[in-house]
Structure 1
Amino acid sequence: MALSPLLAAGLAAARPGAAAAQELRYFRIGTGTTAGTYFPIGGLIANAISNPPGSRPCDRGGSCGIPGLIVVAQASNGSVENVEMLRSGAVEAGFAQADVAYWAYSGTGSFTGKRPFAELRSLGMLYAEAIQVVVRSDGFIDRMADLKGRTVSLGEEGSGTLVEARLILDAYGLSETTVSPLYLKPGMSADRLAKGELDGFVMVAGYPVQAVSDVAARVPIRLVPLDGEPADRLLRTQRFYIATEIPANAYPGTAPTPTLSLGAELLTRADRDPDLIYGIVKALWHENTRRVLAEGHPKGRSFDPAKAVANVSVPLHPGAERYYREAGLLGNAANEAGDDAAKTAR
């Protein structure tokens, strides 16, 4: 299990005598691979809302989390594995793409044939993550059709990237039989692309992604646009997709690139203590935490509580709903997506 370094230091500093006066509680968050976006964002959240004995008080710029709570950012393969770890109770919370969460909740899409995870609940949408198809600039790949017959990493099993990669290939008339697919972690995909052992790889994450930045520092890259009728069709059929553009120089030398994105949500189970979840969500959106996120990762600047409940994929946890109502962020239509999900599952 990988932990964020600041959290590890905090654990080491917590003295047994201090802990005795305050009950310690651990809260594990399933994130993603270390070369993606979920893991560093999860580490920042864990460090910001953990509040072990001896922590600097909130009003002095310290943690505003629940006293005695220690949050652990746990590396994983990503969205699908996080959902399954939530189902089994191996973690208390986890990140997932909105469509993966909805399919798990309703037993549809990539979770068809599995028991609907009706106990899945949302703490809110954190930020939008873009579908990124990364190729070398010298690879003569300008559009999705050029990937036919090429060696492409689609993401590893258990990742949300693999789920989206299959949807994207199908929309553009491709499949795992018309490309030579590999199922690699982002870091390994980037390394092989730089070495010329791979023609491209798919990554779904908030840009800039460390793996893509790493390969861009070694060889010139380009991002393949996701536009035209296939993208329009996906926007019509996949309710959580959003048309977006990755800006110029998101990675060194890359041009503005149209693509599709979807929300990254923080999820938990319905049976988690409402007071605990309320305290975690309140700490998550505190100005101290938002400052840590904004300074710690470019995607952290995108965190906006006003957008957190606008299109959640599953119902809000009661503790989260209580916070958003008290903050004036949850109106009559704010939880509409979650209500629709509940109707689908019934």
Structure 2
Amino acid sequence: MIGLAAAGIGFAAAQSPAFFRIGTGGTAGTYYPIGGLIANAISGAGDKGVQGLVATAVASNGSVANINAIQGGSMESGFSQSDVAYWAHSGTGLYEGKGKVEDLRLIATLYPETIHLVARKDAGIKSVADLKGKRVSIDEPGSGTIVDARIVLAAYGLSESDIKAEHMKPGPAGERLRDGGLDAYFFVGGYPTGAISELATSAGISLVPITGPEADKMLSEYKFFSKDTVPADTYQGVGETPTISVAAQWVTSAKQPDDLVYNITKVMWNDATRAALDAGHAKGKMITLQNAVTSLGIPLHPGAERFYKEAGVLK
């Protein structure tokens, strides 16, 4: 597989195609299908994509794994939560004492990623504080979800030792919830997510609100969080639920050639890609050119920045 650094600026003229991998997340989440849509759009098939480019969406363990892969050179780009990207670039939070990932650059902010706290309907969990003593999956180590879950728990005066913590991916967590072996689980991702929709239909769920003075304090303390609301009937039988969100972002390395990232960004926002995103996934419509330059916790890649200035969304 030819590395893009080796391919250099002349990637379009290279004999072999340049590969541009997009690290996504688990196949049950939102990153994976969105990554597939974007990879198809920017691949040089026909006259719509980037000539000489083969882009692929790769399933992964999510934000942290993707940033590590970009840093290590085994992935050209990937999706990350805005909080994790910020921590990586600044060497804080999850990356405290691990050094800064100073080469991390933004291609685009994609859509809000909602913090879902999914509970069994009969578990009697009405607020985050009710998780005390309950069996709760906070996702696997290395996921962005686990960091946010700990922040949310702490805001309501709980730590991991106050709950019976499990460390499962959302798919298996949902199955365990259905079987009665789990009371609740955290999931960070765009709504509606297929696995939760299926769970709501087959077993019934409640979504626990993340609101009140505890949530307000989190919003003032952590700038990568925003207020969010899951509309009524997004999931069968679940009313409107106030919560918080982070942003899903597409990130890469400063080492990727400016012309390549410029061309990828340009194709990302053309009419054909727009149509594919609108038709391909419920979250696709929320991926807009105007939102692409919001939640800028890390610097834009110069190639992307050039395009956004030309497009008039960045001064």
- Tell me the TM-score normalised to structure 2 length: 0.94
2:171 paired residue among 181, 187, 196:
187
Matched residues, percent identical?
A: 49
Q: For residues 323-334 of structure 1, what are the structure 2 equivalents within 5 Å?
A: 323-331=307-315
Counterpart residue number, 1:5:
none
Aligned residue type for 2:139:
G
Counterpart residue number, 2:86:
102
- State the aligned residue count: 304
Contact 2:231/2:241, CA 8 A, preserved across alignment:
yes
Q: Distance in 2 between the 1:325 and 1:136 partners? A: 47
Aligned residue type for 2:218:
L
CA drift of 1:20 comes to 11
Q: For residues 104-183 of structure 1, what are the structure 2 equivalents within 5 Å?
A: 104-183=88-167
Contact 1:32/1:76, CA 8 A, preserved across alignment:
yes
Counterpart residue number, 1:337:
none
Superimposed CA distance per residue, residues 131-176 of structure 1 (whole angstroms, 9 cap, x where no aligned partner) = 0000121211111111110001101122111111111111111111
Counterpart residue number, 1:26:
19
1:255 paired residue among 221, 225, 239:
239
Q: Distance in 2 between the 1:301 and 1:166 partners? A: 30
- Tell me the TM-score normalised to structure 1 length: 0.86
CA drift of 1:322 comes to 0.6
Counterpart residue number, 2:281:
297
Superimposed CA distance per residue, residues 293-324 of structure 1 (whole angstroms, 9 cap, x where no aligned partner) = 11111000101101211221100000000100
Counterpart residue number, 1:272:
256
Q: For residues 30-45 of structure 1, what are the structure 2 equivalents within 5 Å?
A: 30-45=23-38
Aligned residue type for 2:26:
T
1:56 paired residue among 38, 46, 54:
46
Structure 2 runs not aligned, ≥5 long: 1-11
CA drift of 1:202 comes to 0.2
Q: For residues 308-327 of structure 1, what are the structure 2 equivalents within 5 Å?
A: 308-327=292-311
Counterpart residue number, 2:8:
none
Which deviates further from its counterpart, 115-124 or 208-217? 208-217
**1:46 equivalenced with 2:39 (yes/no):** yes
Q: Distance in 2 between the 1:310 and 1:31 partners? A: 20
Superimposed CA distance per residue, residues 75-97 of structure 1 (whole angstroms, 9 cap, x where no aligned partner) = 11111111111111110001111
The runs of at least 4 consecutive aligned structure 1 residues that moved more than 2 Å come to: 19-23
Aligned residue type for 2:190:
G
Q: Distance in 1 between the 2:181 and 2:286 partners? A: 34
